[in-house]
Copies of this chain bind each other. A is one copy, B any other.
Protein backbone atom coordinates (compact mmCIF):
# COMPACT_ATOMS: atom_id res chain seq x y z
CA UNK A 1 0.00 0.00 0.00
CA UNK A 2 1.33 3.37 -1.06
CA UNK A 3 0.15 5.93 1.49
CA UNK A 4 0.40 8.86 -0.89
CA UNK A 5 -1.21 7.28 -3.91
CA UNK A 6 -4.85 7.97 -4.71
CA UNK A 7 -6.70 4.79 -5.69
CA UNK A 8 -9.78 5.20 -7.84
CA UNK A 9 -12.68 2.98 -8.83
CA UNK A 10 -15.71 2.86 -11.11
CA UNK A 11 -18.92 0.87 -10.71
CA UNK A 12 -20.73 -0.59 -13.72
CA UNK A 13 -24.33 -1.61 -13.10
CA UNK A 14 -25.44 -4.00 -15.87
CA UNK A 15 -29.14 -4.55 -16.26
CA UNK A 16 -32.18 -3.66 -18.33
CA UNK A 17 -34.29 -3.84 -15.15
CA UNK A 18 -32.66 -0.71 -13.73
CA UNK A 19 -33.06 1.28 -16.98
CA UNK A 20 -36.68 0.14 -17.39
CA UNK A 21 -37.52 1.42 -13.91
CA UNK A 22 -38.45 -2.05 -12.64
CA UNK A 23 -36.08 -1.78 -9.70
CA UNK A 24 -34.11 0.96 -8.00
CA UNK A 25 -30.44 0.09 -7.88
CA UNK A 26 -29.07 -0.30 -4.35
CA UNK A 27 -25.65 -1.71 -5.20
CA UNK A 28 -24.03 1.62 -6.01
CA UNK A 29 -24.75 3.08 -2.56
CA UNK A 30 -23.37 -0.03 -0.83
CA UNK A 31 -20.18 -0.07 -2.89
CA UNK A 32 -19.73 3.70 -2.48
CA UNK A 33 -19.71 3.40 1.30
CA UNK A 34 -17.44 0.35 1.41
CA UNK A 35 -14.92 1.79 -1.06
CA UNK A 36 -14.73 5.03 0.88
CA UNK A 37 -13.86 3.09 4.05
CA UNK A 38 -11.21 1.17 2.10
CA UNK A 39 -9.43 4.35 0.97
CA UNK A 40 -10.58 3.98 -2.65
CA UNK A 41 -12.27 6.93 -4.38
CA UNK A 42 -15.35 6.05 -6.38
CA UNK A 43 -15.05 8.40 -9.35
CA UNK A 44 -17.80 7.28 -11.67
CA UNK A 45 -20.69 4.88 -12.07
CA UNK A 46 -22.55 3.80 -15.17
CA UNK A 47 -25.79 1.94 -15.66
CA UNK A 48 -25.99 0.11 -18.99
CA UNK A 49 -28.31 -2.44 -20.61
CA UNK A 50 -27.71 -6.15 -21.26
CA UNK A 51 -26.21 -5.37 -24.68
CA UNK A 52 -22.83 -6.85 -25.55
CA UNK A 53 -21.30 -3.82 -27.28
CA UNK A 54 -22.36 -1.51 -24.43
CA UNK A 55 -20.81 -3.82 -21.82
CA UNK A 56 -17.57 -4.35 -23.72
CA UNK A 57 -17.09 -0.63 -24.44
CA UNK A 58 -17.82 0.44 -20.87
CA UNK A 59 -15.56 -2.22 -19.33
CA UNK A 60 -12.65 -1.28 -21.57
CA UNK A 61 -13.09 2.46 -20.96
CA UNK A 62 -13.39 2.14 -17.21
CA UNK A 63 -10.65 -0.44 -16.60
CA UNK A 64 -8.16 1.78 -18.44
CA UNK A 65 -9.15 4.83 -16.37
CA UNK A 66 -9.34 3.42 -12.83
CA UNK A 67 -7.50 1.13 -10.43
CA UNK A 68 -10.60 -0.94 -9.87
CA UNK A 69 -13.85 -1.65 -11.73
CA UNK A 70 -16.76 -3.43 -10.03
CA UNK A 71 -19.56 -4.76 -12.22
CA UNK A 72 -22.91 -5.93 -10.85
CA UNK A 73 -25.47 -8.09 -12.62
CA UNK A 74 -25.75 -10.49 -15.51
CA UNK A 75 -23.95 -13.58 -14.16
CA UNK A 76 -26.88 -15.95 -13.62
CA UNK A 77 -28.02 -19.01 -15.62
CA UNK A 78 -30.37 -17.43 -18.19
CA UNK A 79 -29.97 -16.17 -21.76
CA UNK A 80 -29.84 -12.52 -20.64
CA UNK A 81 -26.84 -13.18 -18.37
CA UNK A 82 -24.07 -12.16 -20.77
CA UNK A 83 -21.60 -10.39 -18.49
CA UNK A 84 -18.96 -13.16 -18.27
CA UNK A 85 -18.92 -13.61 -22.03
CA UNK A 86 -18.61 -9.84 -22.57
CA UNK A 87 -15.75 -9.53 -20.04
CA UNK A 88 -13.89 -12.28 -21.92
CA UNK A 89 -14.40 -10.41 -25.20
CA UNK A 90 -13.35 -7.09 -23.61
CA UNK A 91 -10.06 -8.67 -22.51
CA UNK A 92 -9.67 -10.70 -25.72
CA UNK A 93 -9.52 -14.05 -23.89
CA UNK A 94 -11.56 -17.24 -24.19
CA UNK A 95 -14.60 -18.00 -22.07
CA UNK A 96 -13.89 -21.41 -20.50
CA UNK A 97 -15.69 -23.84 -18.24
CA UNK A 98 -13.74 -23.32 -15.02
CA UNK A 99 -13.07 -26.67 -13.23
CA UNK A 100 -13.04 -25.08 -9.74
CA UNK A 101 -16.36 -23.36 -10.44
CA UNK A 102 -17.81 -26.66 -11.72
CA UNK A 103 -16.71 -28.37 -8.47
CA UNK A 104 -18.37 -25.64 -6.35
CA UNK A 105 -21.63 -26.03 -8.27
CA UNK A 106 -21.45 -29.87 -8.11
CA UNK A 107 -20.98 -29.72 -4.34
CA UNK A 108 -23.88 -27.34 -3.95
CA UNK A 109 -26.43 -28.67 -6.42
CA UNK A 110 -25.61 -32.40 -6.52
CA UNK A 111 -28.11 -34.16 -8.77
CA UNK A 112 -29.87 -30.88 -9.51
CA UNK A 113 -26.89 -29.46 -11.41
CA UNK A 114 -28.19 -28.90 -14.94
CA UNK A 115 -26.75 -27.30 -18.07
CA UNK A 116 -28.26 -23.89 -17.25
CA UNK A 117 -26.56 -23.84 -13.85
CA UNK A 118 -23.30 -25.02 -15.43
CA UNK A 119 -23.34 -21.81 -17.51
CA UNK A 120 -22.44 -20.08 -14.23
CA UNK A 121 -19.10 -21.97 -14.34
CA UNK A 122 -18.17 -20.27 -17.62
CA UNK A 123 -15.37 -17.89 -16.60
CA UNK A 124 -12.92 -15.92 -18.78
CA UNK A 125 -9.48 -17.58 -19.03
CA UNK A 126 -7.24 -16.25 -16.26
CA UNK A 127 -10.17 -15.20 -14.06
CA UNK A 128 -9.80 -15.77 -10.30
CA UNK A 129 -13.00 -16.96 -8.60
CA UNK A 130 -14.67 -14.85 -5.90
CA UNK A 131 -16.42 -16.82 -3.17
CA UNK A 132 -20.20 -16.59 -2.91
CA UNK A 133 -21.16 -17.58 0.64
CA UNK A 134 -24.91 -17.21 -0.04
CA UNK A 135 -25.84 -19.08 -3.21
CA UNK A 136 -22.38 -20.53 -4.10
CA UNK A 137 -22.19 -19.61 -7.84
CA UNK A 138 -18.95 -17.62 -7.84
CA UNK A 139 -18.09 -14.18 -9.15
CA UNK A 140 -14.64 -13.58 -10.56
CA UNK A 141 -11.82 -11.09 -10.93
CA UNK A 142 -9.99 -10.58 -14.21
CA UNK A 143 -7.19 -8.01 -14.09
CA UNK A 144 -8.64 -5.04 -12.22
CA UNK A 145 -12.27 -5.92 -12.99
CA UNK A 146 -14.38 -7.56 -10.26
CA UNK A 147 -17.51 -9.24 -11.62
CA UNK A 148 -20.29 -9.48 -9.02
CA UNK A 149 -23.93 -10.60 -9.04
CA UNK A 150 -26.82 -8.15 -9.10
CA UNK A 151 -28.87 -9.46 -6.16
CA UNK A 152 -27.83 -7.06 -3.36
CA UNK A 153 -27.67 -9.59 -0.53
CA UNK A 154 -25.40 -11.90 -2.53
CA UNK A 155 -23.28 -9.09 -3.97
CA UNK A 156 -22.69 -7.63 -0.51
CA UNK A 157 -21.64 -10.96 1.02
CA UNK A 158 -19.27 -11.61 -1.89
CA UNK A 159 -17.73 -8.13 -1.66
CA UNK A 160 -17.19 -8.41 2.07
CA UNK A 161 -15.38 -11.70 1.48
CA UNK A 162 -12.63 -10.13 -0.62
CA UNK A 163 -12.56 -6.49 0.42
CA UNK A 164 -9.54 -7.00 2.71
CA UNK A 165 -7.57 -7.79 -0.47
CA UNK A 166 -8.23 -4.37 -2.05
CA UNK A 167 -5.28 -2.02 -1.71
CA UNK A 168 -6.35 1.51 -0.96
CA UNK A 169 -4.82 4.79 0.04
CA UNK A 170 -5.55 6.86 3.09
CA UNK A 171 -9.32 7.04 3.56
CA UNK A 172 -11.14 10.28 2.93
CA UNK A 173 -12.55 11.40 6.26
CA UNK A 174 -15.70 13.48 6.45
CA UNK A 175 -17.58 15.61 8.92
CA UNK A 176 -20.92 17.36 8.61
CA UNK A 177 -21.71 20.85 9.91
CA UNK A 178 -25.49 21.20 9.82
CA UNK A 179 -26.70 24.80 9.52
CA UNK A 180 -30.36 25.57 10.20
CA UNK A 181 -30.30 28.32 7.60
CA UNK A 182 -31.16 28.60 3.91
CA UNK A 183 -28.20 27.48 1.81
CA UNK A 184 -28.02 30.88 0.16
CA UNK A 185 -27.06 32.51 3.47
CA UNK A 186 -23.96 30.35 3.88
CA UNK A 187 -23.02 30.36 0.18
CA UNK A 188 -20.68 33.34 0.21
CA UNK A 189 -18.78 32.34 3.35
CA UNK A 190 -18.53 28.75 2.20
CA UNK A 191 -17.15 29.75 -1.20
CA UNK A 192 -14.48 31.86 0.51
CA UNK A 193 -13.42 28.96 2.73
CA UNK A 194 -13.34 26.56 -0.23
CA UNK A 195 -11.22 29.02 -2.24
CA UNK A 196 -8.67 29.24 0.60
CA UNK A 197 -8.68 25.46 1.15
CA UNK A 198 -8.50 23.74 -2.26
CA UNK A 199 -7.06 20.56 -0.67
CA UNK A 200 -10.38 19.94 1.06
CA UNK A 201 -13.70 19.11 -0.64
CA UNK A 202 -16.73 21.01 0.69
CA UNK A 203 -20.26 19.99 -0.34
CA UNK A 204 -23.46 21.84 0.50
CA UNK A 205 -26.69 19.78 0.55
CA UNK A 206 -29.88 21.74 1.25
CA UNK A 207 -33.02 20.33 2.81
CA UNK A 208 -36.48 21.56 3.76
CA UNK A 209 -38.40 19.77 6.50
CA UNK A 210 -41.76 20.94 7.79
CA UNK A 211 -41.10 24.45 6.50
CA UNK A 212 -37.67 24.63 8.14
CA UNK A 213 -34.66 25.25 5.87
CA UNK A 214 -31.23 23.82 6.44
CA UNK A 215 -28.05 22.70 4.77
CA UNK A 216 -25.66 19.85 5.52
CA UNK A 217 -22.18 21.27 4.91
CA UNK A 218 -19.95 18.25 4.38
CA UNK A 219 -16.16 18.51 4.61
CA UNK A 220 -14.06 15.71 3.08
CA UNK A 221 -10.30 15.53 3.66
CA UNK A 222 -7.52 12.96 3.98
CA UNK A 223 -5.72 14.82 6.81
CA UNK A 224 -7.50 14.88 10.18
CA UNK A 225 -5.98 18.31 10.85
CA UNK A 226 -7.48 19.71 7.63
CA UNK A 227 -10.85 18.26 8.61
CA UNK A 228 -10.62 19.94 12.03
CA UNK A 229 -9.49 23.31 10.70
CA UNK A 230 -12.04 23.58 7.91
CA UNK A 231 -15.02 22.28 9.87
CA UNK A 232 -14.15 24.72 12.67
CA UNK A 233 -13.99 27.58 10.14
CA UNK A 234 -17.38 26.60 8.72
CA UNK A 235 -18.92 26.28 12.20
CA UNK A 236 -17.61 29.76 13.12
CA UNK A 237 -19.06 31.20 9.91
CA UNK A 238 -22.47 29.65 10.69
CA UNK A 239 -22.35 31.02 14.27
CA UNK A 240 -21.53 34.48 12.91
CA UNK A 241 -24.84 34.22 10.99
CA UNK A 242 -26.65 33.75 14.32
CA UNK A 243 -27.19 29.98 14.19
CA UNK A 244 -25.67 27.27 16.40
CA UNK A 245 -24.58 24.45 14.08
CA UNK A 246 -24.74 20.72 14.76
CA UNK A 247 -21.50 18.89 14.07
CA UNK A 248 -21.47 15.16 13.34
CA UNK A 249 -18.77 12.77 12.16
CA UNK A 250 -19.26 11.35 8.67
CA UNK A 251 -21.75 12.49 6.06
CA UNK A 252 -25.06 12.92 7.77
CA UNK A 253 -28.13 12.25 5.68
CA UNK A 254 -30.93 14.86 5.66
CA UNK A 255 -33.34 14.72 8.63
CA UNK A 256 -36.42 12.52 8.03
CA UNK A 257 -39.46 14.02 6.33
* A contact set with B: CB distance below 8 Å: 16-26, 28-30, 32-36, 42-50, 54, 76-80, 114-117, 119, 135, 151, 172, 174, 183-188, 190-191, 194-195, 201-208, 215, 218, 220, 251, 253-254
Contact = CB atoms under 8 A, between A and B. Distances in A.
B48 A19 contact: no
Contacts of A172: 20
A187 B79 contact: yes
Contacts of A208: 135
5 contacts: A21-B30, A22-B251, A78-B187, A80-B204, A116-B187
B20 A174 contact: yes
Nearest to A135: B208
A26 B29 contact: no
A251 B49 contact: no
A256 to B, nearest CB: 13
Nearest to A154: B208
A220 B26 CA distance: 23
Nearest to A49: B43
B186 A78 contact: yes
Contact of A54 (B22, B44, B78): B44
